[in-house]
Amino acid sequence: MQHNKLLVVGELNVDLLLNHIEGFPKIATEIIAHDMNLILGSSSAIMAANCAALGASTTFCGKVGSDFFGSFIVEELQQKRVDTRYVTVSETHQSGITVIMNYDQERANVTYCGAMETLTQEDLPWNEMSNFTHMHLSNFFIQKGLREGIDSLFKRVKKMGLTTSLDLQWDPQNKWDFDYEACLPFVDVFMPNEAELLALTKVENLEEAIAIVTPYTNTLIVKRGQKGSIGVNGSYRCEKPAFLHNNYVDSIGAGDSFNSGFIKKFMDGATLEVCMEFGNLMGALNTTAAGGTAAFVDSERIKDSIQTIFDIDLTQYDEIKR
């Protein structure tokens, strides 16, 4: 078996980015945006593409429609060196799209899910699962076909010898119907951001929220944007600051880029501190270009950008192991 092969399971859509917008949308009126981009979207795809750019052997499992957006998504993944052999095409559903209206560091999103809702556990490559060492799943709440029996999915993957990670993302219905007590024991790295963890646990204090879920987690990572990240593994706790800079463009996909950095180093066998610091650095790099993947062309350009923007030599992270 080839070492350190990542399988990403999740949603696929394009992002239509609107920037420099004159005001906020109102019913029966029209406003103007002065900048538009159509790019690869979805938290799962951003994480997969950026992991591949960092040098990880990465394969995607998801669904698209038989349409222009579907072809665009698959071609973008392939150009970013992601194996798409387990991306299937629905003949009855259109590909997903998210319209993103950016206002400085805030944004408003509208998503059409389409084919992504039809992905089920049966679509996973169970007969080839032993070819991988790690499975990552993102955006649980908008994937109706995967939600039922999510604990059994992770349990089955763990029994096959893989390590696992999960990023729930936000619940658009705000119901937070996720049985974390049953599922999280089979998840090696649980990766919510602060707002998601508070909403999931239905409390307003972060420390209380951490205390609620840690009895069920193996490693808990709480992403906090400009406040950095918190890692909890049993009784051990680590906090790492964010990498601040003056090259900000937008924060779309920053959490997914954190995931890519963290999981790349996790698969490499790095310490929790190194995984978190590398994740913070990749999240910061993400914000220096539009969308979630533009800052992650290939490993050499990533190294050059990190050196130029943050004055950090990425090779310092290469030899640190658990």
DSSP state of 315: G
Closest CA to 113 of 12, 10, 256: 12
* Mean pLDDT value across residues 262-278: 96
Q: What is the pLDDT of residue 2?
A: 46
Closest CA to 124 of 93, 173, 160: 160
- Order the strands of the 13-21 sheet from edge to edge: 33-40, 13-21, 96-103, 106-112
* Mean pLDDT value across residues 255-261: 97
Q: What is the pLDDT of residue 1?
A: 38
Q: What is the DSSP string of 100-127?
A: EEEETTEEEEEEE-GGGGG--GGGS-GG
Q: Check pLDDT > 50 for residue 164.
A: yes
Residues 142-151 have pLDDT tens digits of 999 999 999 9
Residues 116-150 have pLDDT tens digits of 999 999 999 999 999 999 999 999 999 999 999 99
Output 290 or 236, whichever has higher pLDDT: 236
Q: Check pLDDT > 60 for residue 322.
A: no
* Mean pLDDT value across residues 235-250: 93
pLDDT-derived band at 317 (thresholds 50, 70, 90) equals confident
Q: What is the pLDDT of residue 106?
A: 79
Closest CA to 242 of 289, 209, 192, 282: 282
Q: Is 28 in a helix, a strand, or coil?
A: coil
Q: Which residue carries 């030599």 as its tokens?
A: 313
Q: What is the pLDDT of residue 160?
A: 96
Bridge pairing between strands 229-233 and 219-223? antiparallel
Instruction: Give me the percent of the chain exceeding a pLDDT of 90.
Output: 88
Q: What is the pLDDT of residue 321?
A: 61
Phi, psi of 157 (to 5 degrees): -65, -40
Please tell me the distance from the alpha carbon of residue 71 to that of residue 306, in angstroms, as a whole number: 32
Provide the residue count of the chain. 322
pLDDT-derived band at 290 (thresholds 50, 70, 90) equals confident
Q: What is the pLDDT of residue 3?
A: 59
Q: What is the pLDDT of residue 212?
A: 98
The CATH fold of domain 5-317: UDP-N-acetylmuramoyl-L-alanine:D-glutamate ligase (3.40.1190)
